[in-house]
Amino acid sequence: MSSTSRTLRICLIASSRFPVSEPFAGGLEAHTHALARELRRRGHAVTLFAKAGSDPDLDVHELPLAVYTPDETARKDVAAPPATWMDEHHAYLGLMLNLMKGGRQDFDLVHNNSLHHLPVAMSSALDIPVVTTLHTPPLPWLTSAVEFAGPNCHFVSVSKATALAWAHIVSSTAVPNGVDLEQWRPGPGGGPAVWSGRIVPEKAPHQAILAARRAAIPLRLAGEVLDRTYFEREVEPLLGDDVEYVGHLAHGELVELVREACVALVTPAWEEPFGLVAAEAMSCGTPVAAFARGALTELVTQDTGALATPGDVQGLADAMHLAAALDRRQVRRVAEMRFSHRAMVDGYESVYHDALETSGA
């Protein structure tokens, strides 16, 4: 049941880096898609501001990138920021200025689900509530932006760990990310281990390969290569008959791969704010072996997987065997209790309700 009986007009701001569409570039895009779909299913009017190419089934307004062309003087400035940075800056600046002019006419509230600092820094200039989801540890641009947040600004963290990391800067309500349990459904297991996600250094898939090889368990890697240099230097040389890179799969193909896996590996080299791939695996009944970083210590319990000391490849190999022996039905039951996308949206509706009540709207 909805936590608020009001039908809301919601401005949902996505990250401009990747389209909100399948196959998702990462957990942020999957989170935004699930949030928008479920809010719309509940009758809310959701306008999604996102990169071109996002799901046409959502009411998408394109964040206009490439709107800034530097002149010759700017090009000669050695301290000038990259063109992509300027494109994003102008896109979010334009959006926030438009919301300042007429946001109340079109929306009841703004939900900032991006990683950009401007929706936070300019939020107090709006005359409607602004809810911002904190998807990362405290980063300099975002922490400085919070200094400008006013009483209309409300913050949500994707995990207790992330809320704690931000606690010295701003208080936030923890609303764990959720997955669609009808899409991520129980599978038989028994197949090779799986690692999925963005192939970048901070996700460290090369350590998953090393651990799987020590555990003598075949491994399949799936995800978009976003750092080609890292992939060619650290990942590609480790591939072989027992370790296969299967590419950036369509959503349905990825679900099948995870359903069939004996264990899922999660190997962050940073303090993972949530770890959506772990929740997705658990929803399939696939236990998780992971490094104990960030929110993974909340997600992965003795009923759903096993943890290893960060960076400990042998410890992760041992965790793979421990996790693979768990009851897949119990893993799924835990996911149903903790990681439903509908429970996630219940949490956001509660935050929306509180934000509107505080504003007197």
Instruction: Report the number of distinct structural domains present in the chain.
Output: 2
CA distance 157 to 173: 6
Q: Are 117 and 33 part of one and the same domain?
A: yes
Query: Is 156 domain-assigned?
Result: yes
Q: Residue 66 has what pLDDT?
A: 47
Residues near 232 by beta carbon (within 8 Å), at least 6 away in sequence: none
Q: Are residues 199 and 165 in the same domain?
A: no
Q: What is the pLDDT of residue 4?
A: 54
The closest of 314, 308, 277, 278 to 293, measured between CA atoms, is 308
Same domain for 289 and 349, yes or no, is no
Tell me what pLDDT residue 102 has: 84
Residues 275 and 221 in one domain: yes
178, 340 contact by CB (below 8 A)? yes
Q: Which two tokens stand for residue 34?
A: 């699930």
Residues 305 and 287: their CA atoms lie apart, in Å, by 5
Co-location of 244 and 166 in the same domain? no
Is 355 inside any structural domain? yes
**Residue range of the domain that includes 224:** 193-338
Q: Is residue 2 part of a domain?
A: no
pTM over 0.95: no
Residues 344 and 334 in one domain: no
Query: What was the pLDDT predicted at 62?
Result: 86
Q: Which residues contact 236 (CB under 8 A, 6 or more apart)?
A: 245
Residue 183 lies in a domain: no
Residues 51 and 157 in one domain: yes
Q: What is the pLDDT of residues 14-55, one digit of tens each?
A: 988 889 998 888 889 999 999 999 999 999 999 999 998 999
**In percent, how much of the chain has pLDDT > 90?**
83
Q: Based on the domain organization, do 244 and 314 belong to the same domain?
A: yes
Q: Do 127 and 260 fall into the same domain?
A: no
Name residue, tokens 């898939």: 205
Looking at the chain, the number of H-run helices and the number of E-run strands are 14, 13
Residue 277's CATH number: 3.40.50.2000
Residues 270 and 295 in one domain: yes
Residue 234 has a pLDDT of 98
pLDDT in tens, 128-155: 999 999 999 999 999 999 999 989 999 9
**pLDDT at position 82:** 56
Is 186 among the domain residues?
no
Residue 248 lies in a domain: yes
pLDDT at 80: 42
Given a cut of 70, the residues of the chain with pLDDT beneath it are 1-5, 64-83, 361
Asked whether residue 85 is assigned to any structural domain, the reply reads yes
